[in-house]
Structure 1
Amino acid sequence: MRRLTGNFLLHHLLRSANPQSSIIYSVFQFQFQFQFQFHFRNYSNHAHEIDTFVDRQLFINHVRDQCKLGFSDMNIPLSLFRQMTSVRPLPSIIDFCQLFTAMSKLKRLQPHSTIIALLRELELLGIRPDRQSLGILANCYCNLGRVDFGFSLMGKCLQLGYNPNCVTYNTLINGFVLGDKLPLANKLLDKIVNQGFQPSMATYAALVKGLCRMDRKAGAIKLLSRMQSGPFKPCKFMYTTIIESLCKDGLLNEALDLFANMKSEGITPDVVTYASLVRAIYNSGSRKEAKRMLDEILDSNIGPDVQTFTTLVDMFCKDGCINEAEAILQYMIERDKAPDIVTYSALLHGYCSRFQMGDAEKLLDLMAQKGCEPDLVILSTMIKGYSKIGRIGKARSLFQEFYKRGIKPDVAAYTTLINGLCKAKEFKVARNLFYKMQERGIPPNVVTYASLFDGLCKSDSTHVAMKMLEGMERKGVQPDITIYNILIGSLCEAERYDDVSKLLSDLASKGLEADVETFNIMINVFCKKGLMNEAIQLLTEMEEKGCYPNSETYDNIVRTFIHKNDLSSALYYRDVMVDKGFEAGAKKLPLKNTLRDRIRNEAIRKKVGVTVLQYMHEFFCIWVLSNEVPTGKSFKINRSGGATEVSDSESSIKSKQL
């Protein structure tokens, strides 16, 4: 039998009048270099063959039943394959294809390379491939990103007398989509439609998903319009995929328009569609509209699952709308949709972030009633909540209670409690806990060290932190720039500048670089001490090293110059700040009525941070920003830089401090 090479196949396809062949050649002029040799053998009795026809048939029926049920891992199907190849006579290619199809559904295990190897083994056993087995092989290659090998198999199909059909072309189009080669996928789609072939619904769905993944949502919407004139109409999955992609990119109006089209076509949205829209609408600030759509979900017969409810609870909690989150949880319980640990954790985090620890405790009781045991995430959340409101004793007792229940705290739980103890200035207890966690076999991470170092430095124990820094690397923990920033700030406060220089030198050897926070810490310390020459020198050094100052850098410098009554320097660096394009967020000034509003408006118009202005006196603020004295008021500047207002109706002088 003549063996066809890749080049021969290509020229054979070129000369052929077969439209399927011309499609393959005209779209992709691949150099087929893949060869498949099929060996036909006659087998005699095998030592392990199943002797009777009845036993053989029972075994094959068993394999078919197993394939229908599906597999959870690769062990069972591989074992079945080995047993099938020991049966004589060998099972048909149809039975093997059924096994390979079931294996291909285990996508999370990436079975495609294994299936290719097994199909090769069948070739060596002399089992002739059919259209389905070649399709499975092409699909495996496409999933591995080798669409060119898939096209090579189309040549083999022609050699064996199998003309490519819709399934063949759909496989190749899906391969291009998976490989993010959408132009080629669209080109092949146009070719096969012109030749009278009709893509499947799965092919269209794959194209829509691929277009959205590549941020080509306009193309996906255009494809939906194109489908309207064909035999396959857009399905729920396609609409939902595009709507979800539009919502993620903040294109809410486009998503709502498509949602309206979806319903006008008689397609009922599912929970995924609604959940995407509710989140997008809520994030846009339209809470009433989001609430209306949420009511639409709950009043419908869609039946949101626990995951969807959890998403909504988490969304409301992050936005601070605890009442809405509680309503969702209550609705779940009433509809027998038992909340899981993730749902409770989301609501608990909402309570703790708003310091509603009483409600958090009640939620823990509710969890116990529902048989839902708290986990480590909930433990850390509760400890953090108690620490923030200063109830560190309650945090410690809760930590011990969980330990008694057999819930072994992890490094995150220990770090949370150590951080809380340091903030409560219980530094000795924090250090003891730090050593105890290591005794219990839980090594601290860099965040743990950062929390403890911050506490040690604030308790005038910087020398202890410096010694611990030396031992970090020996324990396999690499200090990051946050660790160094904490130490540098403390050393600067103590005027230990030689040690600061040593730490800065160590950064390079550790593969670290001083960041803007590092410089801001040192500049802030110099500003507090009134060492403005040193602060300005650091500012210049920052820019020379490519670490550009931020708004906090300039705020510190301008504020200090104002405090030192150095108006010209304050104005100069204010102008530099504005020229750099920094705009600090406007904060409330301690002023009243129209004068305060005027200052704020001037600050916004001049793009000057109000954080700087709040350190100026009333007259000084107006004068710096607009170079004019407020009309209707008389002021005089005192020696300390304060502004004194002279009342028109009174002869007395009132000093006003802002």
Structure 2
Amino acid sequence: MGHPPSIVTFTTFINGLIHSDWLDEAVQLLDKTLKLGFQPTIVTYGTMFKGLCKRGNNVGALKLLRTMESHGHFLPDVVIYNTIIDSLCKDQALPQALQLFEEMKTKRILPTVFTYYSLIRGMCRLCTVGKWKDAQEMLTQMLDNNIVADVEIYSMLIDMYCKEGMVVEARAVFGYMIDNGQVPDIITYNALLDGYCLRGEMEEAEKLVNMMVEHGCEPDLFTFNSLINGYAKSKKLDIALRLFQEMPHKGLTPNVVTYNTLIDSLCKDNQVQCARELFKEMESHGLKPNVVTYSSLIDGLCHNALIDEAIHLHKHMKHSGVLPNIFMYTILIDGLCEAGRLEEALNIFSFLVSKGLLLSVRTYTVLIKGLCKKKGLLADANELLKKMVDDGCPPNEYTYNIIIRGFLHGNDISKSLELVSVMTTNGFAADAHTTSVFLDLLIDPRVSKENKALL
């Protein structure tokens, strides 16, 4: 119609393609725009970076950044750097993000609160000792540059410290944010609360809940789940169950996490009947049990010698579309061994091997324990120990102590001492139970002088 397109036209079109998730077409159109002699604006580039990072194409974003610089039309601004840094942090490419951060400062592009937010979040996600310090230093650097940290940044740091059991440090950050005029929100309170509950510091947890309510922050589902978990782990199941019953009166509906916590704690407290009832209640409310729910209940059934019911529940689990994991199979193998049903345990183990599943040290160990208990199968236990090594799953201290005691109870002192030597070579030591068995043999009149000489 005689109206030639401008760079605004192309930018609008590119933006539309990005929003429609047609990234490849947007890249092609940008190339065409350049070939036609148009100079993309900072908005054009910003749109492209947004699209590339949304797709997780960090390589493409970095390449475009260098292309943009080489054309010299516009230098990247803080928004473009923030977009790429945030995407790199989400992809756990923290070293590259930090490199861009240093590049920004070299080019005198001042970081914003979002820059620091992305980097601190990336450091918190890694959760290593070095990164805790880096995250704290990044916060300090941010404050030194007169950039006010918001509640989200403080909440991330508190959550990071609490997840690693560093509640004292988390509380210090909590106090610092309040002193600097930031008002904690429900996420902040819940992060610190969870830290107290994980450490069993329930008095401090209750004080924090009272503070929440005083400041107009009503406890939510996460708050109750943390408290229930804390009381359950502190062997105060009566309080945990009372909180569970209070939830509907607070307008809160228990979720799978709530039920899993209580079912697991009830089973560990040998209250299997109550755990069964909660399991049925959970299903009646339309909540689908997951592998954690089934594992907890099956473990409880096995420890209460209800192995047939455990096997039935395992079948029910598979029919419900929940896939068992190695942890679940290990529970069953252990339960069958304890019930003297070694053949069934061996069948499950063979099934796991045939499927090529990666077995845990505990899986091997519980079967070795089962073989040691069965008369005449110590050689099989020793072969399984060798298989562990061959399969790249080296025995741990518990494994060695189990099999050493097995040979001691089988009066094969020579073999047990040989295994002690192997164990110590691998940096492990005999535990109190194993040491006690050795001492008992020394004073046992039925043990021959030759065997006592070996000891």
Which TM class, normalised by the smaller chain length?
0.7 to 0.9
Change (3 A) 1:464 1:300: same
Does 2:87 match 1:238? no
Change (3 A) 1:477 1:566: same
Does 2:70 match 1:226? yes
- Equivalent in the alignment of 1:63: none
Does 2:358 match 1:495? no
- Equivalent in the alignment of 1:39: none
SS at match of 1:371: coil
**Structure 1 Cα separation of the partners of residues 33 and 428 of structure 2:** 66
1:566 aligns with one of 399, 407, 415:
415
- Equivalent in the alignment of 1:550: 393
**Structure 2 Cα separation of the partners of residues 612 and 289 of structure 1:** 37
Change (3 A) 1:450 1:255: closer
Name stretches of at least 5 consecutive residues in structure 2 with no aligned partner: 436-449
SS at match of 1:329: helix
Q: CA deviation at 1:487?
A: 2.2
Q: CA deviation at 1:285?
A: 1.0
The aligned amino acid for 2:117 is A
CA RMSD of aligned residues (A): 4.4
Per chain length, whose mean CA-contact separation is higher, i.e. which structure has more relative contact order (CA < 8 Å, sep 6+)?
2
The aligned amino acid for 2:81 is Y
**Structure 1 Cα separation of the partners of residues 298 and 453 of structure 2:** 39
Name stretches of at least 5 consecutive residues in structure 1 with no aligned partner: 1-159, 575-598, 618-636, 643-658
Q: CA deviation at 1:352?
A: 1.6
- Equivalent in the alignment of 1:372: 217
**Structure 1 Cα separation of the partners of residues 43 and 453 of structure 2:** 78
Does 2:267 match 1:422? yes
**Structure 1 Cα separation of the partners of residues 344 and 123 of structure 2:** 53
- Equivalent in the alignment of 1:532: 378
Does 2:46 match 1:201? no
Structure-to-structure mapping, 1:256-405, within 5 angstroms: 256-279=98-121, 283=128, 285=130, 287=132, 290-298=135-143, 302-333=147-178, 337-405=182-250
Q: Structure 1, residues 331-381: CA drift from partner, whole Å, max 9, x if none?
A: 554566443322222211111222222211111111211222222222222
**Structure 2 Cα separation of the partners of residues 528 and 343 of structure 1:** 51
Q: How many residues align?
A: 422
Instruction: Tell whether the 8 Å contact from 1:364 to 1:374 is kept in structure 2 after alignment.
Output: yes
Instruction: Tell whether the 8 Å contact from 2:307 to 2:339 is kept in structure 1 after alignment.
Output: no
**Structure 1 Cα separation of the partners of residues 334 and 148 of structure 2:** 55
Q: Structure 1, residues 417-448: CA drift from partner, whole Å, max 9, x if none?
A: 11112222333433343344456665644432
The aligned amino acid for 1:533 is A
Q: CA deviation at 1:639?
A: 3.9
Instruction: Tell whether the 8 Å contact from 1:554 to 1:573 is kept in structure 2 after alignment.
Output: no
Structure-to-structure mapping, 1:106-121, within 5 angstroms: none
SS at match of 2:104: helix
SS at match of 1:551: coil
**Structure 1 Cα separation of the partners of residues 35 and 315 of structure 2:** 72
Q: CA deviation at 1:234?
A: 1.2
Instruction: Tell whether the 8 Å contact from 1:480 to 1:512 is kept in structure 2 after alignment.
Output: no
Q: Structure 1, residues 492-515: CA drift from partner, whole Å, max 9, x if none?
A: 12221344467679989xx98765
**Structure 1 Cα separation of the partners of residues 132 and 397 of structure 2:** 38
Q: CA deviation at 1:469?
A: 4.1
Change (3 A) 1:345 1:465: same
- Equivalent in the alignment of 1:455: 300
**Structure 2 Cα separation of the partners of residues 548 and 337 of structure 1:** 54
Q: Structure 1, residues 506-538: CA drift from partner, whole Å, max 9, x if none?
A: 989xx9876514555323422465733323555
Change (3 A) 1:240 1:478: closer
Change (3 A) 1:443 1:265: closer
Instruction: Tell whether the 8 Å contact from 2:369 to 2:402 is kept in structure 1 after alignment.
Output: no
Q: Structure 1, residues 562-601: CA drift from partner, whole Å, max 9, x if none?
A: 8654279749988xxxxxxxxxxxxxxxxxxxxxxxx8xx
Q: CA deviation at 1:201?
A: 1.5
Change (3 A) 1:322 1:225: farther
Instruction: Tell whether the 8 Å contact from 1:526 to 1:532 is kept in structure 2 after alignment.
Output: yes
**Structure 2 Cα separation of the partners of residues 243 and 472 of structure 1:** 43
Instruction: Tell whether the 8 Å contact from 1:333 to 1:339 is kept in structure 2 after alignment.
Output: yes
Change (3 A) 1:639 1:368: same
**Structure 2 Cα separation of the partners of residues 535 and 197 of structure 1:** 76
- Equivalent in the alignment of 1:516: 359
Give the TM-score normalised by structure 2: 0.74
Change (3 A) 1:456 1:641: farther
* Structure with max Cα Rg: 1
Instruction: Tell whether the 8 Å contact from 2:318 to 2:324 is kept in structure 1 after alignment.
Output: no
Change (3 A) 1:223 1:310: farther
Percent of matched pairs sharing the same residue: 37
Does 2:329 match 1:480? no
Change (3 A) 1:641 1:521: same
Instruction: Tell whether the 8 Å contact from 1:271 to 1:308 is kept in structure 2 after alignment.
Output: no
The aligned amino acid for 1:566 is K
SS at match of 2:130: coil
**Structure 2 Cα separation of the partners of residues 269 and 319 of structure 1:** 29
Instruction: Tell whether the 8 Å contact from 1:220 to 1:242 is kept in structure 2 after alignment.
Output: no
